[in-house]
Structure 1
Protein backbone atom coordinates (compact mmCIF):
# COMPACT_ATOMS: atom_id res chain seq x y z
CA UNK A 1 0.00 0.00 0.00
CA UNK A 2 2.74 2.44 0.92
CA UNK A 3 4.67 1.60 -2.23
CA UNK A 4 1.57 2.01 -4.40
CA UNK A 5 0.84 5.42 -2.89
CA UNK A 6 4.47 6.52 -3.25
CA UNK A 7 4.48 5.47 -6.91
CA UNK A 8 1.38 7.53 -7.61
CA UNK A 9 2.76 10.56 -5.78
CA UNK A 10 6.09 10.29 -7.58
CA UNK A 11 4.31 10.08 -10.94
CA UNK A 12 2.14 13.11 -10.10
CA UNK A 13 5.23 15.06 -9.02
CA UNK A 14 7.10 14.26 -12.21
CA UNK A 15 4.11 15.24 -14.34
CA UNK A 16 3.55 18.48 -12.47
CA UNK A 17 7.23 19.43 -12.57
CA UNK A 18 7.22 18.92 -16.33
CA UNK A 19 4.59 21.63 -16.76
CA UNK A 20 5.40 24.19 -14.04
CA UNK A 21 8.57 25.49 -12.38
CA UNK A 22 7.85 24.28 -8.86
CA UNK A 23 5.50 22.25 -6.67
CA UNK A 24 4.17 22.99 -3.19
CA UNK A 25 3.04 20.08 -1.04
CA UNK A 26 1.88 19.35 2.49
CA UNK A 27 2.88 16.25 4.47
CA UNK A 28 1.24 14.53 7.43
CA UNK A 29 3.41 13.27 10.28
CA UNK A 30 2.25 9.87 11.54
CA UNK A 31 3.47 6.28 11.65
CA UNK A 32 0.78 5.48 9.07
CA UNK A 33 2.76 7.54 6.56
CA UNK A 34 6.19 6.04 7.23
CA UNK A 35 6.19 3.30 4.60
CA UNK A 36 4.92 5.62 1.88
CA UNK A 37 7.47 8.32 2.77
CA UNK A 38 10.30 5.80 2.87
CA UNK A 39 9.57 4.60 -0.64
CA UNK A 40 8.97 8.13 -1.93
CA UNK A 41 12.30 9.35 -0.54
CA UNK A 42 14.10 6.54 -2.38
CA UNK A 43 12.33 7.10 -5.69
CA UNK A 44 14.76 8.36 -8.35
CA UNK A 45 14.11 11.00 -10.96
CA UNK A 46 12.29 13.64 -8.88
CA UNK A 47 13.78 17.14 -8.85
CA UNK A 48 13.17 17.86 -5.17
CA UNK A 49 15.07 21.15 -5.50
CA UNK A 50 11.89 22.52 -7.09
CA UNK A 51 9.55 21.26 -4.34
CA UNK A 52 8.54 23.33 -1.30
CA UNK A 53 7.34 21.33 1.71
CA UNK A 54 4.88 22.14 4.49
CA UNK A 55 3.35 20.04 7.24
CA UNK A 56 -0.22 20.07 8.42
CA UNK A 57 -0.14 20.25 12.21
CA UNK A 58 2.05 20.57 15.29
CA UNK A 59 1.65 20.18 19.03
CA UNK A 60 1.79 23.15 21.36
CA UNK A 61 3.82 22.73 24.53
CA UNK A 62 6.34 20.06 23.54
CA UNK A 63 10.05 20.67 23.92
CA UNK A 64 11.63 21.63 20.61
CA UNK A 65 13.87 18.55 20.74
CA UNK A 66 11.05 16.07 21.44
CA UNK A 67 10.93 13.26 18.86
CA UNK A 68 7.13 13.47 19.14
CA UNK A 69 7.18 16.92 17.54
CA UNK A 70 5.78 16.49 14.06
CA UNK A 71 8.46 18.67 12.48
CA UNK A 72 11.12 16.44 14.04
CA UNK A 73 9.35 13.28 12.88
CA UNK A 74 9.14 14.62 9.34
CA UNK A 75 12.78 15.75 9.49
CA UNK A 76 13.76 12.15 10.22
CA UNK A 77 11.51 10.59 7.58
CA UNK A 78 11.61 13.04 4.69
CA UNK A 79 12.50 16.70 5.25
CA UNK A 80 16.23 16.19 5.83
CA UNK A 81 16.50 13.23 3.46
CA UNK A 82 15.70 15.19 0.32
CA UNK A 83 17.04 18.48 -1.15
CA UNK A 84 13.81 20.49 -0.98
CA UNK A 85 13.71 24.03 -2.32
CA UNK A 86 12.36 25.01 1.12
CA UNK A 87 10.83 23.36 4.16
CA UNK A 88 8.38 25.41 6.19
CA UNK A 89 8.03 24.01 9.71
CA UNK A 90 5.29 25.00 12.15
CA UNK A 91 7.05 26.45 15.21
CA UNK A 92 4.60 27.32 18.01
CA UNK A 93 7.21 29.02 20.18
CA UNK A 94 7.27 31.69 21.44
CA UNK A 95 3.84 32.84 20.25
CA UNK A 96 1.43 30.26 18.86
CA UNK A 97 -1.04 32.90 17.70
CA UNK A 98 1.65 34.70 15.73
CA UNK A 99 2.74 31.40 14.21
CA UNK A 100 -0.81 30.72 13.03
CA UNK A 101 -0.76 34.02 11.14
CA UNK A 102 2.73 33.46 9.74
CA UNK A 103 2.03 29.94 8.53
CA UNK A 104 -1.30 30.86 6.94
CA UNK A 105 0.49 33.58 4.96
CA UNK A 106 3.15 31.12 3.77
CA UNK A 107 0.48 28.70 2.58
CA UNK A 108 -1.44 31.48 0.87
CA UNK A 109 1.57 32.67 -1.12
CA UNK A 110 0.72 30.28 -3.99
CA UNK A 111 -1.57 27.28 -4.60
CA UNK A 112 -0.87 23.98 -2.90
CA UNK A 113 -0.44 21.22 -5.43
CA UNK A 114 -0.49 18.07 -3.32
CA UNK A 115 -1.41 16.98 0.20
CA UNK A 116 -0.25 13.64 1.62
CA UNK A 117 -2.50 12.86 4.56
CA UNK A 118 -4.02 10.15 6.72
CA UNK A 119 -7.22 9.68 8.70
CA UNK A 120 -7.37 9.49 12.49
CA UNK A 121 -9.16 6.83 14.52
CA UNK A 122 -11.88 9.39 15.23
CA UNK A 123 -12.08 10.38 11.56
CA UNK A 124 -9.96 13.51 11.90
CA UNK A 125 -7.94 14.98 9.05
CA UNK A 126 -4.95 16.97 10.26
CA UNK A 127 -6.02 17.87 13.82
CA UNK A 128 -9.61 18.70 12.87
CA UNK A 129 -11.33 16.45 15.41
CA UNK A 130 -15.09 15.85 15.45
CA UNK A 131 -15.69 18.44 18.20
CA UNK A 132 -13.92 21.26 16.35
CA UNK A 133 -13.88 20.36 12.64
CA UNK A 134 -15.59 22.95 10.46
CA UNK A 135 -16.22 22.30 6.78
CA UNK A 136 -16.72 26.03 6.24
CA UNK A 137 -13.95 27.29 8.50
CA UNK A 138 -13.05 30.89 7.62
CA UNK A 139 -9.48 30.28 8.81
CA UNK A 140 -6.69 28.44 7.03
CA UNK A 141 -4.67 27.68 10.17
CA UNK A 142 -5.83 27.70 13.79
CA UNK A 143 -5.22 26.50 17.33
CA UNK A 144 -7.41 23.57 18.41
CA UNK A 145 -8.05 21.49 21.51
CA UNK A 146 -7.48 17.79 20.89
CA UNK A 147 -10.13 15.32 21.99
CA UNK A 148 -9.23 12.33 24.16
CA UNK A 149 -9.70 9.79 21.36
CA UNK A 150 -7.21 11.69 19.24
CA UNK A 151 -4.78 11.97 22.15
CA UNK A 152 -5.10 8.27 22.98
CA UNK A 153 -4.28 7.40 19.37
CA UNK A 154 -0.90 9.10 19.84
CA UNK A 155 -0.22 6.75 22.76
CA UNK A 156 -1.42 3.71 20.79
CA UNK A 157 0.92 4.74 17.97
CA UNK A 158 3.82 4.66 20.48
CA UNK A 159 4.47 8.37 20.07
CA UNK A 160 3.94 9.02 23.80
CA UNK A 161 4.30 6.79 26.87
CA UNK A 162 0.88 7.65 28.32
CA UNK A 163 -2.13 9.91 27.85
CA UNK A 164 -1.01 12.58 30.31
CA UNK A 165 2.12 13.13 28.22
CA UNK A 166 0.12 14.08 25.11
CA UNK A 167 -0.45 17.82 24.68
CA UNK A 168 -4.01 19.13 24.78
CA UNK A 169 -3.57 21.76 22.08
CA UNK A 170 -2.09 21.98 18.61
CA UNK A 171 -1.83 24.18 15.54
CA UNK A 172 -3.54 22.69 12.50
CA UNK A 173 -4.40 23.44 8.92
CA UNK A 174 -8.18 23.63 8.65
CA UNK A 175 -10.45 21.47 6.52
CA UNK A 176 -11.02 24.10 3.80
CA UNK A 177 -7.27 24.77 3.58
CA UNK A 178 -6.60 21.07 2.97
CA UNK A 179 -9.47 20.74 0.52
CA UNK A 180 -8.19 23.59 -1.65
CA UNK A 181 -5.14 21.55 -2.65
CA UNK A 182 -5.20 20.27 -6.21
CA UNK A 183 -4.68 16.59 -5.35
CA UNK A 184 -4.94 14.61 -2.13
CA UNK A 185 -3.22 11.28 -1.44
CA UNK A 186 -4.72 9.68 1.69
CA UNK A 187 -2.88 6.68 3.17
CA UNK A 188 -4.75 4.76 5.89
CA UNK A 189 -3.37 1.38 7.02
CA UNK A 190 -4.30 -0.86 9.94
CA UNK A 191 -7.30 -2.46 11.60
CA UNK A 192 -7.54 0.37 14.12
CA UNK A 193 -8.61 2.64 11.23
CA UNK A 194 -11.28 0.31 9.73
CA UNK A 195 -14.23 2.05 11.35
CA UNK A 196 -12.93 5.49 10.36
CA UNK A 197 -12.46 4.33 6.77
CA UNK A 198 -15.99 2.89 6.73
CA UNK A 199 -17.45 6.19 7.93
CA UNK A 200 -15.30 8.14 5.49
CA UNK A 201 -16.70 6.13 2.60
CA UNK A 202 -20.26 5.42 3.69
CA UNK A 203 -21.46 7.62 6.57
CA UNK A 204 -23.39 10.86 6.00
CA UNK A 205 -21.25 13.85 5.08
CA UNK A 206 -20.76 15.31 8.53
CA UNK A 207 -18.18 16.66 10.97
CA UNK A 208 -19.00 13.59 13.08
CA UNK A 209 -16.45 12.06 10.69
CA UNK A 210 -14.39 14.97 9.34
CA UNK A 211 -12.74 12.71 6.76
CA UNK A 212 -16.12 12.21 5.07
CA UNK A 213 -15.53 15.57 3.37
CA UNK A 214 -12.84 13.90 1.28
CA UNK A 215 -15.60 12.35 -0.84
CA UNK A 216 -16.36 15.81 -2.23
CA UNK A 217 -12.82 16.44 -3.50
CA UNK A 218 -12.41 16.04 -7.25
CA UNK A 219 -8.99 14.36 -7.00
CA UNK A 220 -8.55 12.46 -3.73
CA UNK A 221 -7.13 8.93 -3.80
CA UNK A 222 -7.61 6.72 -0.73
CA UNK A 223 -5.08 3.96 -0.07
CA UNK A 224 -6.11 1.21 2.36
CA UNK A 225 -4.82 -2.25 3.17
CA UNK A 226 -6.62 -5.49 3.96
CA UNK A 227 -6.76 -4.56 7.63
CA UNK A 228 -8.29 -1.11 7.19
CA UNK A 229 -10.66 -2.17 4.39
CA UNK A 230 -14.19 -2.19 5.88
CA UNK A 231 -15.48 -4.31 3.01
CA UNK A 232 -12.78 -6.99 3.13
Structure 2
Protein backbone atom coordinates (compact mmCIF):
# COMPACT_ATOMS: atom_id res chain seq x y z
CA UNK A 1 0.00 0.00 0.00
CA UNK A 2 1.34 3.40 -1.01
CA UNK A 3 0.40 6.44 1.09
CA UNK A 4 0.72 9.94 -0.36
CA UNK A 5 0.28 12.99 1.88
CA UNK A 6 -0.34 16.23 -0.01
CA UNK A 7 -2.82 19.13 -0.35
CA UNK A 8 -6.24 18.14 -1.66
CA UNK A 9 -5.74 19.84 -5.05
CA UNK A 10 -2.54 17.89 -5.64
CA UNK A 11 -4.20 14.64 -4.59
CA UNK A 12 -6.96 15.20 -7.16
CA UNK A 13 -4.37 15.74 -9.89
CA UNK A 14 -2.51 12.58 -8.90
CA UNK A 15 -5.70 10.54 -9.08
CA UNK A 16 -6.60 12.13 -12.42
CA UNK A 17 -3.07 11.40 -13.68
CA UNK A 18 -3.61 7.73 -12.90
CA UNK A 19 -6.92 7.58 -14.75
CA UNK A 20 -5.55 9.55 -17.70
CA UNK A 21 -2.50 7.29 -17.96
CA UNK A 22 -4.76 4.23 -18.03
CA UNK A 23 -7.01 5.74 -20.72
CA UNK A 24 -4.03 6.77 -22.84
CA UNK A 25 -2.63 3.24 -22.52
CA UNK A 26 -6.00 1.57 -23.08
CA UNK A 27 -8.86 3.76 -24.36
CA UNK A 28 -11.30 0.92 -23.57
CA UNK A 29 -10.31 0.82 -19.90
CA UNK A 30 -12.90 0.03 -17.22
CA UNK A 31 -13.17 2.67 -14.50
CA UNK A 32 -14.70 2.40 -11.05
CA UNK A 33 -16.59 5.53 -10.00
CA UNK A 34 -17.33 6.61 -6.43
CA UNK A 35 -19.77 9.17 -5.06
CA UNK A 36 -19.46 11.34 -1.96
CA UNK A 37 -17.27 14.41 -1.52
CA UNK A 38 -13.87 12.71 -1.84
CA UNK A 39 -13.75 12.27 -5.65
CA UNK A 40 -15.35 15.58 -6.67
CA UNK A 41 -12.06 17.40 -7.31
CA UNK A 42 -10.90 14.40 -9.34
CA UNK A 43 -13.99 14.63 -11.53
CA UNK A 44 -13.45 18.37 -11.96
CA UNK A 45 -9.89 17.71 -13.08
CA UNK A 46 -10.89 14.95 -15.49
CA UNK A 47 -13.62 17.14 -16.99
CA UNK A 48 -11.06 19.92 -17.46
CA UNK A 49 -8.63 17.58 -19.18
CA UNK A 50 -11.41 16.33 -21.44
CA UNK A 51 -12.38 19.88 -22.43
CA UNK A 52 -8.89 21.34 -22.72
CA UNK A 53 -6.59 18.42 -23.52
CA UNK A 54 -8.84 16.07 -25.44
CA UNK A 55 -8.84 13.28 -22.87
CA UNK A 56 -11.46 10.87 -24.21
CA UNK A 57 -13.73 8.42 -22.42
CA UNK A 58 -15.53 7.42 -25.62
CA UNK A 59 -14.37 3.80 -25.58
CA UNK A 60 -14.26 3.38 -21.80
CA UNK A 61 -16.76 1.72 -19.50
CA UNK A 62 -17.50 2.61 -15.89
CA UNK A 63 -19.10 0.91 -12.91
CA UNK A 64 -20.47 2.64 -9.84
CA UNK A 65 -19.73 1.35 -6.35
CA UNK A 66 -23.21 1.52 -4.88
CA UNK A 67 -26.76 2.84 -5.03
CA UNK A 68 -29.56 3.62 -2.60
CA UNK A 69 -32.53 1.24 -2.57
CA UNK A 70 -35.97 2.62 -3.32
CA UNK A 71 -34.96 6.22 -4.00
CA UNK A 72 -36.96 7.84 -6.82
CA UNK A 73 -35.39 7.57 -10.27
CA UNK A 74 -35.32 11.36 -10.65
CA UNK A 75 -34.08 12.13 -7.13
CA UNK A 76 -30.95 14.32 -7.33
CA UNK A 77 -29.21 12.19 -4.68
CA UNK A 78 -29.79 8.93 -6.48
CA UNK A 79 -26.21 7.92 -7.15
CA UNK A 80 -26.78 7.27 -10.83
CA UNK A 81 -27.93 10.90 -11.13
CA UNK A 82 -25.04 12.16 -9.00
CA UNK A 83 -22.51 10.41 -11.25
CA UNK A 84 -24.27 11.74 -14.33
CA UNK A 85 -24.03 15.28 -12.97
CA UNK A 86 -20.51 15.13 -11.56
CA UNK A 87 -18.67 13.32 -14.35
CA UNK A 88 -20.60 11.33 -16.99
CA UNK A 89 -22.33 14.34 -18.58
CA UNK A 90 -19.10 16.37 -18.53
CA UNK A 91 -17.06 13.97 -20.65
CA UNK A 92 -17.75 11.77 -23.68
CA UNK A 93 -18.79 8.43 -22.26
CA UNK A 94 -20.86 6.54 -24.84
CA UNK A 95 -24.55 5.96 -24.06
CA UNK A 96 -24.90 3.04 -21.67
CA UNK A 97 -21.19 3.00 -20.80
CA UNK A 98 -21.74 3.98 -17.16
CA UNK A 99 -23.35 1.22 -15.11
CA UNK A 100 -24.69 1.07 -11.57
CA UNK A 101 -26.54 -1.35 -9.30
CA UNK A 102 -30.31 -1.22 -9.83
CA UNK A 103 -31.72 0.00 -6.55
CA UNK A 104 -35.22 0.04 -8.06
CA UNK A 105 -35.22 -3.60 -9.20
CA UNK A 106 -38.12 -5.80 -8.13
CA UNK A 107 -35.65 -8.61 -7.40
CA UNK A 108 -32.71 -6.98 -5.62
CA UNK A 109 -30.82 -10.24 -5.11
CA UNK A 110 -30.95 -10.98 -8.84
CA UNK A 111 -29.94 -7.39 -9.61
CA UNK A 112 -26.83 -7.81 -7.45
CA UNK A 113 -25.88 -11.05 -9.21
CA UNK A 114 -26.43 -9.39 -12.59
CA UNK A 115 -24.15 -6.54 -11.58
CA UNK A 116 -21.36 -8.90 -10.56
CA UNK A 117 -21.64 -10.65 -13.94
CA UNK A 118 -21.57 -7.33 -15.79
CA UNK A 119 -18.31 -6.30 -14.11
CA UNK A 120 -16.78 -9.69 -14.84
CA UNK A 121 -17.95 -9.60 -18.47
CA UNK A 122 -16.32 -6.20 -18.92
CA UNK A 123 -12.99 -7.69 -17.87
CA UNK A 124 -12.97 -6.24 -14.36
CA UNK A 125 -12.24 -2.72 -13.16
CA UNK A 126 -8.84 -1.28 -14.08
CA UNK A 127 -8.81 1.75 -11.76
CA UNK A 128 -11.25 2.00 -8.85
CA UNK A 129 -11.76 5.33 -7.08
CA UNK A 130 -12.73 5.05 -3.42
CA UNK A 131 -13.53 7.19 -0.43
CA UNK A 132 -13.74 6.08 3.19
CA UNK A 133 -16.35 6.75 5.85
CA UNK A 134 -15.58 7.97 9.33
CA UNK A 135 -16.31 4.45 10.57
CA UNK A 136 -13.98 2.89 8.01
CA UNK A 137 -16.51 1.75 5.43
CA UNK A 138 -15.62 1.68 1.75
CA UNK A 139 -18.49 1.74 -0.72
CA UNK A 140 -21.36 0.84 1.64
CA UNK A 141 -19.54 -2.04 3.31
CA UNK A 142 -20.36 -1.07 6.87
CA UNK A 143 -18.43 -2.31 9.95
CA UNK A 144 -18.95 -6.04 10.32
CA UNK A 145 -19.11 -6.66 6.57
CA UNK A 146 -17.66 -9.92 5.36
CA UNK A 147 -14.19 -9.49 3.88
CA UNK A 148 -15.26 -11.99 1.20
CA UNK A 149 -18.52 -10.16 0.34
CA UNK A 150 -19.82 -9.56 -3.15
CA UNK A 151 -22.44 -7.11 -4.43
CA UNK A 152 -25.47 -7.30 -2.14
CA UNK A 153 -28.09 -5.35 -0.21
CA UNK A 154 -26.90 -3.69 3.00
CA UNK A 155 -28.54 -1.79 5.83
CA UNK A 156 -26.85 1.54 6.47
CA UNK A 157 -25.59 2.30 9.97
CA UNK A 158 -26.93 5.25 11.93
CA UNK A 159 -23.51 6.91 11.57
CA UNK A 160 -23.52 6.63 7.77
CA UNK A 161 -27.05 7.97 7.54
CA UNK A 162 -26.14 10.89 9.80
CA UNK A 163 -23.03 11.60 7.70
CA UNK A 164 -25.12 11.56 4.52
CA UNK A 165 -27.99 13.65 5.87
CA UNK A 166 -26.21 16.77 4.59
CA UNK A 167 -27.15 15.63 1.08
CA UNK A 168 -30.83 15.37 2.11
CA UNK A 169 -31.44 18.83 3.54
CA UNK A 170 -30.06 17.62 6.90
CA UNK A 171 -33.24 15.57 7.27
CA UNK A 172 -32.31 12.10 8.53
CA UNK A 173 -35.75 10.76 7.71
CA UNK A 174 -35.08 11.34 4.00
CA UNK A 175 -31.91 9.25 3.99
CA UNK A 176 -32.62 5.71 2.73
CA UNK A 177 -31.96 2.85 5.13
CA UNK A 178 -30.83 0.33 2.52
CA UNK A 179 -28.45 0.26 -0.41
CA UNK A 180 -26.89 -2.04 -2.96
CA UNK A 181 -23.12 -2.08 -2.80
CA UNK A 182 -20.17 -3.80 -4.36
CA UNK A 183 -18.74 -6.15 -1.75
CA UNK A 184 -15.24 -6.00 -0.35
CA UNK A 185 -14.15 -8.94 -2.50
CA UNK A 186 -15.66 -7.26 -5.55
CA UNK A 187 -13.68 -4.09 -4.86
CA UNK A 188 -10.53 -6.11 -4.21
CA UNK A 189 -10.87 -7.65 -7.69
CA UNK A 190 -10.08 -4.27 -9.29
CA UNK A 191 -6.53 -3.99 -10.61
CA UNK A 192 -5.68 -0.66 -8.94
CA UNK A 193 -7.42 0.89 -5.93
CA UNK A 194 -7.11 4.65 -5.45
CA UNK A 195 -8.61 5.94 -2.19
CA UNK A 196 -8.91 9.63 -1.34
CA UNK A 197 -9.57 11.06 2.12
CA UNK A 198 -9.40 14.64 3.37
CA UNK A 199 -10.17 16.36 6.63
CA UNK A 200 -9.55 15.58 10.28
CA UNK A 201 -12.81 13.69 10.52
CA UNK A 202 -11.27 10.91 8.44
CA UNK A 203 -8.02 10.72 10.47
CA UNK A 204 -8.91 7.72 12.62
CA UNK A 205 -10.35 5.78 9.68
CA UNK A 206 -7.19 6.47 7.67
CA UNK A 207 -5.00 5.41 10.59
CA UNK A 208 -6.88 2.12 10.89
CA UNK A 209 -6.94 1.63 7.11
CA UNK A 210 -3.17 1.98 6.74
CA UNK A 211 -1.69 0.94 10.07
CA UNK A 212 -4.36 -1.02 11.94
CA UNK A 213 -5.04 -4.76 11.92
CA UNK A 214 -7.16 -6.18 9.12
CA UNK A 215 -10.64 -6.40 10.57
CA UNK A 216 -14.27 -6.45 9.52
CA UNK A 217 -14.79 -3.73 12.14
CA UNK A 218 -12.78 -1.40 9.87
CA UNK A 219 -13.74 -2.75 6.44
CA UNK A 220 -11.29 -0.60 4.48
CA UNK A 221 -8.39 -2.41 6.11
CA UNK A 222 -8.85 -5.22 3.57
CA UNK A 223 -6.99 -2.91 1.17
CA UNK A 224 -3.78 -3.85 2.96
CA UNK A 225 -4.04 -7.18 1.11
CA UNK A 226 -4.28 -5.60 -2.35
CA UNK A 227 -1.18 -5.75 -4.58
CA UNK A 228 -1.73 -2.22 -5.95
CA UNK A 229 -3.47 0.12 -3.52
CA UNK A 230 -2.87 3.86 -3.30
CA UNK A 231 -4.09 6.02 -0.40
CA UNK A 232 -4.17 9.77 -1.09
CA UNK A 233 -4.65 11.91 2.03
CA UNK A 234 -4.22 15.52 3.07
CA UNK A 235 -2.37 16.59 6.21
CA UNK A 236 -5.52 16.59 8.36
CA UNK A 237 -6.57 13.09 7.33
CA UNK A 238 -2.97 11.92 7.85
CA UNK A 239 -2.70 13.42 11.34
CA UNK A 240 -3.08 10.07 13.15
CA UNK A 241 -0.56 8.15 11.04
CA UNK A 242 2.38 6.94 13.09
CA UNK A 243 4.62 6.53 10.04
CA UNK A 244 3.63 9.76 8.33
CA UNK A 245 7.20 11.00 7.95
CA UNK A 246 8.25 7.73 6.34
CA UNK A 247 5.38 7.95 3.83
CA UNK A 248 6.46 11.49 2.92
CA UNK A 249 10.06 10.41 2.50
CA UNK A 250 9.11 7.41 0.37
CA UNK A 251 6.97 9.44 -2.02
CA UNK A 252 9.52 12.25 -2.27
CA UNK A 253 12.23 9.77 -3.35
CA UNK A 254 10.02 7.77 -5.74
CA UNK A 255 11.22 7.59 -9.38
CA UNK A 256 9.10 9.93 -11.50
CA UNK A 257 8.56 7.28 -14.18
CA UNK A 258 6.89 4.93 -11.71
CA UNK A 259 3.62 6.83 -11.26
CA UNK A 260 1.16 5.74 -8.60
Q: Please confirm whether the aligned pair reaches a TM-score higher than 0.5, indicating the same fold.
A: yes
For 2:151 and 2:199, locate their aligned partners in 1 and report how far apart those are by CA, in whole Å: 29
1:210 paired with 2:219, answer: yes
How far does residue 18 in structure 1 lie from its aligned partner after superposition? 4.5
For 1:199 and 1:124, locate their aligned partners in 2 and report how far apart those are by CA, in whole Å: 11
Counterparts of 1:1-232 in structure 2 under 5 Å? Answer: 1-43=7-49, 44-85=53-94, 86-95=97-106, 96-109=108-121, 110-131=123-144, 133-137=145-149, 140-155=150-165, 157-231=166-240
* CA displacement 1:129-158 (0-9 Å, x = unmatched): 003x11122xx3111111111111102x44
Structure 2 unmatched ranges of 5 or more: 1-6, 242-260
- 2:190 match: secondary structure: coil
Structure 1 stretches of 4+ moved >4 Å: none
For 2:137 and 2:71, locate their aligned partners in 1 and report how far apart those are by CA, in whole Å: 21
How far does residue 73 in structure 1 lie from its aligned partner after superposition? 1.1
TM-score of the aligned structures, taking structure 1 as reference length: 0.90
Count of matched residue pairs: 228
* CA displacement 1:86-106 (0-9 Å, x = unmatched): 111332223223321221111
Higher RCO structure (Cα 8 Å, ≥6 apart): 2
How far does residue 182 in structure 1 lie from its aligned partner after superposition? 0.8
For 2:115 and 2:226, locate their aligned partners in 1 and report how far apart those are by CA, in whole Å: 23
TM-score of the aligned structures, taking structure 2 as reference length: 0.81
- RMSD across aligned positions (CA): 1.9
- C-alpha contact 2:67 2:179 (8 A) present in aligned 1: yes
